[in-house]
Amino acid sequence: MPKKIDPALRSQAVRLVTQHRSEYSTERAVHVQVAESLGVSRESVRRWVAQHEIDTGVAAGVTSDEREELRRLRAENKRLREVNEVLKSATIFFAGELDPRNR
Protein backbone atom coordinates (compact mmCIF):
# COMPACT_ATOMS: atom_id res chain seq x y z
CA MET A 1 0.00 0.00 0.00
CA PRO A 2 1.41 3.40 -0.93
CA LYS A 3 2.43 5.64 1.92
CA LYS A 4 0.33 8.69 2.65
CA ILE A 5 1.90 11.94 1.51
CA ASP A 6 1.19 15.17 3.33
CA PRO A 7 -1.35 17.11 1.24
CA ALA A 8 0.64 20.29 1.90
CA LEU A 9 3.74 18.73 0.31
CA ARG A 10 1.69 17.61 -2.67
CA SER A 11 0.16 21.05 -3.20
CA GLN A 12 3.58 22.68 -2.77
CA ALA A 13 5.00 20.45 -5.50
CA VAL A 14 2.13 21.29 -7.85
CA ARG A 15 2.48 24.99 -7.11
CA LEU A 16 6.25 24.92 -7.74
CA VAL A 17 5.85 23.08 -11.04
CA THR A 18 3.14 25.50 -12.14
CA GLN A 19 5.15 28.59 -11.17
CA HIS A 20 8.49 27.49 -12.64
CA ARG A 21 7.33 25.58 -15.72
CA SER A 22 8.39 28.36 -18.11
CA GLU A 23 11.97 28.38 -16.75
CA TYR A 24 12.72 24.86 -18.03
CA SER A 25 13.04 23.46 -21.53
CA THR A 26 10.94 20.36 -20.80
CA GLU A 27 8.18 19.34 -18.44
CA ARG A 28 10.38 16.48 -17.24
CA ALA A 29 13.15 18.89 -16.24
CA VAL A 30 10.87 20.93 -13.98
CA HIS A 31 9.50 17.71 -12.43
CA VAL A 32 13.05 16.48 -11.72
CA GLN A 33 14.07 19.79 -10.11
CA VAL A 34 10.97 20.05 -7.93
CA ALA A 35 11.23 16.39 -6.91
CA GLU A 36 14.86 16.80 -5.88
CA SER A 37 14.15 19.99 -3.94
CA LEU A 38 11.29 18.35 -2.00
CA GLY A 39 12.86 14.92 -1.57
CA VAL A 40 10.21 12.96 -3.44
CA SER A 41 10.28 10.96 -6.67
CA ARG A 42 9.92 12.60 -10.07
CA GLU A 43 7.11 10.18 -10.88
CA SER A 44 5.16 11.32 -7.81
CA VAL A 45 5.48 14.94 -8.85
CA ARG A 46 4.40 14.07 -12.41
CA ARG A 47 1.31 12.19 -11.16
CA TRP A 48 0.36 14.96 -8.71
CA VAL A 49 0.58 17.60 -11.42
CA ALA A 50 -1.38 15.45 -13.86
CA GLN A 51 -4.14 14.81 -11.29
CA HIS A 52 -4.25 18.50 -10.40
CA GLU A 53 -4.73 19.35 -14.07
CA ILE A 54 -7.56 16.82 -14.31
CA ASP A 55 -9.20 18.12 -11.12
CA THR A 56 -9.06 21.72 -12.36
CA GLY A 57 -10.41 20.86 -15.81
CA VAL A 58 -7.21 21.59 -17.72
CA ALA A 59 -6.87 17.95 -18.80
CA ALA A 60 -9.39 15.19 -19.41
CA GLY A 61 -9.68 12.27 -17.00
CA VAL A 62 -11.26 10.99 -13.80
CA THR A 63 -11.22 13.62 -11.06
CA SER A 64 -10.21 12.86 -7.49
CA ASP A 65 -13.80 13.28 -6.34
CA GLU A 66 -15.06 10.86 -8.98
CA ARG A 67 -12.35 8.36 -8.08
CA GLU A 68 -13.30 8.54 -4.39
CA GLU A 69 -16.99 8.11 -5.25
CA LEU A 70 -16.17 5.03 -7.36
CA ARG A 71 -14.11 3.57 -4.50
CA ARG A 72 -16.97 4.16 -2.06
CA LEU A 73 -19.58 2.68 -4.39
CA ARG A 74 -17.47 -0.41 -5.11
CA ALA A 75 -17.02 -1.04 -1.38
CA GLU A 76 -20.75 -0.60 -0.77
CA ASN A 77 -21.56 -2.89 -3.69
CA LYS A 78 -19.25 -5.58 -2.29
CA ARG A 79 -20.84 -5.30 1.15
CA LEU A 80 -24.34 -5.54 -0.31
CA ARG A 81 -23.41 -8.64 -2.32
CA GLU A 82 -22.13 -10.29 0.87
CA VAL A 83 -25.33 -9.43 2.74
CA ASN A 84 -27.39 -10.77 -0.16
CA GLU A 85 -25.51 -14.10 -0.01
CA VAL A 86 -26.20 -14.39 3.72
CA LEU A 87 -29.89 -13.72 3.13
CA LYS A 88 -30.03 -16.33 0.36
CA SER A 89 -28.44 -18.90 2.66
CA ALA A 90 -30.88 -18.06 5.46
CA THR A 91 -33.83 -18.33 3.08
CA ILE A 92 -32.73 -21.77 1.93
CA PHE A 93 -32.19 -22.90 5.52
CA PHE A 94 -35.55 -21.66 6.80
CA ALA A 95 -37.44 -22.92 3.73
CA GLY A 96 -36.11 -26.37 4.51
CA GLU A 97 -37.14 -26.07 8.14
CA LEU A 98 -40.70 -25.07 7.22
CA ASP A 99 -41.18 -27.85 4.66
CA PRO A 100 -43.70 -30.34 6.19
CA ARG A 101 -41.95 -33.25 4.48
CA ASN A 102 -38.91 -32.64 6.70
CA ARG A 103 -40.86 -33.24 9.95
The model's pTM: 0.70
Alpha-carbon distance of 38 to 34, in angstroms, equals: 6
3-29 burial, b at 16+ Cβ within 10 Å, e below that, comes to eeeeeeebeebbebbeeeeeeeeeeee
Residue 4 φ/ψ region, left for φ over 0, alpha for ψ in the -120 to 50 degree band, beta for the rest? beta
> Is residue 103 very low, low, confident or very high in pLDDT (cuts 50, 70, 90)?
low
Residue pair 76/68 in contact by the 8 Å Cβ criterion? no
Q: Summarize pLDDT for 56-90 with one digit per residue, the tens.
A: 999 999 999 999 999 999 999 999 999 999 999 99
Q: Summarize pLDDT for 88-101 with one digit per residue, the tens.
A: 999 888 887 776 67
Q: Is residue 1 pLDDT above 90, yes or no?
A: no
Residue 74: the pLDDT is 98
